[in-house]
């Protein structure tokens, strides 16, 4: 049986269209037109990914995303008819991994679903490779347990944040541009990379840095990108 995707959208035509394309690609689909029914499904069924509309009649998509994130680590893609950056930032802030703006090409949805599931599979250790433990300063990343600790205390990350941090920890001191990070993490063309990566970097800083405005670890190299230092105020 294929992987199961949760689709939640109160626009019946859109929900049905997404369901059709997903099923044509071999996915099982659990489709709902409101947040309450979707939450019940999340509590009782095994799912692999969720596609959530922002504007729902009962529980809005942001709240639904946050509720899911309390219990589950699998990818969440937000659908939004709003084009303002604040809505995209909000979705990423509460734990979404990607967003798609309406109107959209259903083939783009399928491509993004597959890309997120590939990343999640890699993150979950499905690829046969030995467990790895990384350490930069007081930050430790246990890739077998998918756990990040700071000074021995666990820190919760979304799948996307985790993977960005892992990339930087595998290459301490190396500068990555937003486009390079986006291409490596999403395996996709870096369209809109700067804004998306900036949001994730800010969230990682807020979780790792005592003073995010004056970071010890995650540095901006102006005009070039980002790098992870060892926490000793390197340049």
Tell me the CATH number at 154: 1.10.10.10
Instruction: Kindly tell me the number of DSSP H helices and DSSP E strands found in the chain.
Output: 8, 11
Neighbouring CB atoms inside 10 A of 150's CB total 17
CA-nearest of 189, 193, 157, 199 to 177 is 193
Q: Last residue of some domain: 104, 123, 142?
A: 123
pLDDT for the residue 156 = 93
pLDDT for the residue 107 = 94
Same domain, 160 and 52: no
Q: Last residue of some domain: 123, 153, 180?
A: 123
Q: Which long-range contacts (CB under 8 A, 24 or more apart) does 125-134 make?
A: 134/166, 134/169, 134/170
Same domain, 100 and 142: no
Same domain, 8 and 114: yes
pLDDT for the residue 232 = 54
Report H helices in 94-158. 106-123
Please count the structural domains in the chain. Answer: 2
Same domain, 179 and 87: no
Q: What is the pLDDT of residues 133-144, one digit of tens each?
A: 888 889 999 988
Tell me the CATH number at 108.
3.40.50.2300
* pTM metric for this prediction: 0.58
Same domain, 107 and 164: no
CA-nearest of 24, 93, 34 to 61 is 34
Same domain, 166 and 196: yes
Same domain, 119 and 153: no
Q: What is the pLDDT of residues 187-199, one digit of tens each?
A: 776 677 788 899 9
Which residues, given as ranges, of the chain have pLDDT below 70?
1, 82-85, 123-132, 189-190, 231-235
Same domain, 11 and 97: yes
pLDDT for the residue 190 = 66
Cβ partners under 8 Å of residue 15, min gap 6 = 7, 8, 9, 31, 32, 33
pLDDT for the residue 34 = 94
Same domain, 176 and 116: no
Q: How far apart are CA 88 and CA 98, in angstroms?
A: 9
* Residue 165 maps to a domain: yes
* Residue 158 maps to a domain: yes
Q: Which domain holds residue 33?
A: 4-123
* Residue 234 maps to a domain: no
CA-nearest of 4, 55, 7 to 31 is 7
Q: 76 and 50 in contact (C-beta within 8 Å)?
A: yes
Q: How far apart are CA 109 and CA 104, in angstroms?
A: 8
Same domain, 139 and 205: yes
pLDDT for the residue 130 = 41
Same domain, 169 and 116: no
CA-nearest of 161, 148, 235 to 196 is 161
Same domain, 111 and 18: yes
* Residue 235 maps to a domain: no
* Residue 159 maps to a domain: yes
* Residue 216 maps to a domain: yes
Cβ partners under 8 Å of residue 86, min gap 6 = none
* Residue 128 maps to a domain: no
Q: How far apart are CA 92 and CA 155, in angstroms?
A: 17
Cβ partners under 8 Å of residue 80, min gap 6 = 53, 54, 55, 61, 87, 88, 91, 99, 100, 101, 102
Q: Last residue of some domain: 123, 155, 178?
A: 123
The answer to whether the Cα torsion of 52, 35, 28, 157 is positive or negative is positive
């Amino acid at each position: 049986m294929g992987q199961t995707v949760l689709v939640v959208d109160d626009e019946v035509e859109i929900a049905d269209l997404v369901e059709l394309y997903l099923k044509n690609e071999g996915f099982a689909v659990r489709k709902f037109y409101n947040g309450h029914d979707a939450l019940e499904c999340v509590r009782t069924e095994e799912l692999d990914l969720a596609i959530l509309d922002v504007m729902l009649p009962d529980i809005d998509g942001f709240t639904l995303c946050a509720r899911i994130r309390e219990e589950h680590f699998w990818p969440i893609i937000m659908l939004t008819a709003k084009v303002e950056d604040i809505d995209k930032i909000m979705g990423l802030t509460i734990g979404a991994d990607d967003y798609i703006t309406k109107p959209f090409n259903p083939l783009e949805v399928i491509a993004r679903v597959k890309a997120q599931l590939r990343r999640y599979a890699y993150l979950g250790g499905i690829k046969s490779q030995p467990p790895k433990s990384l350490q930069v300063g007081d930050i430790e990343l246990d890739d077998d347990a998918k756990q990040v600790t700071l000074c021995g205390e666990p820190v919760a990350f979304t799948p996307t944040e985790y993977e960005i941090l892992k990339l930087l920890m595998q290459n301490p001191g190396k500068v990555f541009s937003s486009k390079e990070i986006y291409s490596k993490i999403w395996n996709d063309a870096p369209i809109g990379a700067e804004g998306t990566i900036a949001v994730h970097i800010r969230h990682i800083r807020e979780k790792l840095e005592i003073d995010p405005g004056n970071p010890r670890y995650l540095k901006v190299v102006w005009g070039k990108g980002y790098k992870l230092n060892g926490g000793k105020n390197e340049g």
